[in-house]
A and B are shown apart, each in its own frame.
Chain A
Amino acid sequence: MTKKAIIYLHGFNSASLDVHGELLVSKDKLQVMHDFCTQHDIVFFTPNVDYRDFKTIVEDMLFEWNQFLDRGYDVVFMGSSMGGFSSEYLALKTGCCAIMINPALSPSSLLPQFVGVEANYETGQPYQWQQSHCEQYIPYEQELAASEQSIKRTLLLDMADELIDAQMTLEKYRDRARVETFQGGSHSFEHMREALSMVEQVVFLESLTE
């Protein structure tokens, strides 16, 4: 059986690893994904990324994608919020599957409310978020919107997301993605365990059709 890898990207100004490079197991969905991947012999690659420089994120993740391909892995891109947006873009570029958790629909519109943020929510590291960082996303959003290429998307939505209107997300993707909705929850997503069967399907079934 082909080896499997998930490249998982965290959300805006968040982190997957602490300052020592250890997985932030206090984040329930990361712990659940880590356990799931260990159980199924899937490499779970979840670096910290800096959304002030999206081009570098894309380049770094494509580099990793190439490394995994070199070793015979099937790769699935997965992420939460901004990580969901990133996963969709990387899936567009690579043809891989994307699992998007409460994804950011339009970072250039969503992120200006965070201008002035001065520290990473998870690690506490000093951080400056500026308007120019928001605007860098416009061409990527336009590229996604203009593309007629089929993208293998799976969306996981908590309908009580307090940051992004889940109903709007549902309307946008209803006809072009497999969407699994969960009542309640929040933007941080509180149904990772319930969503694992869907993740398993994507990793072990859909990626075979690439």
Chain B
Amino acid sequence: MKAIDDLLNYHAKEGAGQSDPFAADQPVFGQPPGLTDVKLLRVLTT
């Protein structure tokens, strides 16, 4: 469960929340913010 714990603690880490991982405006649906093409492909094909 380490990955889940890391994700839950992400905002407790120094510097978290100050980055801007979004290069474009938010879509209403479809490709989510920050999701890479590779990851999106996996989501859509499983």
Contacts and interface: CB of A to CB of B under 8 A. Distances in A.
A186 interface: no
Contact of B3 (A46, A59, A71, A94): A59
Given A17-B30, A37-B28, A46-B29, A62 B8 contact: yes
Contacts of A60: 39, 43
A69 B10 CA distance: 10
B26 A43 contact: yes
A68 interface: yes
Contacts, number: 76
A71 B4 contact: no
A109 to B, nearest CB: 23
A102 interface: no
A17 B32 CA distance: 12
Interface of A: 16-17, 19, 21-23, 34, 37-38, 43-50, 52-53, 55, 58-60, 62-71, 93-94, 125
Interface of B: 3-4, 7-8, 10-11, 16-17, 19-22, 26-35, 39-40, 43-46
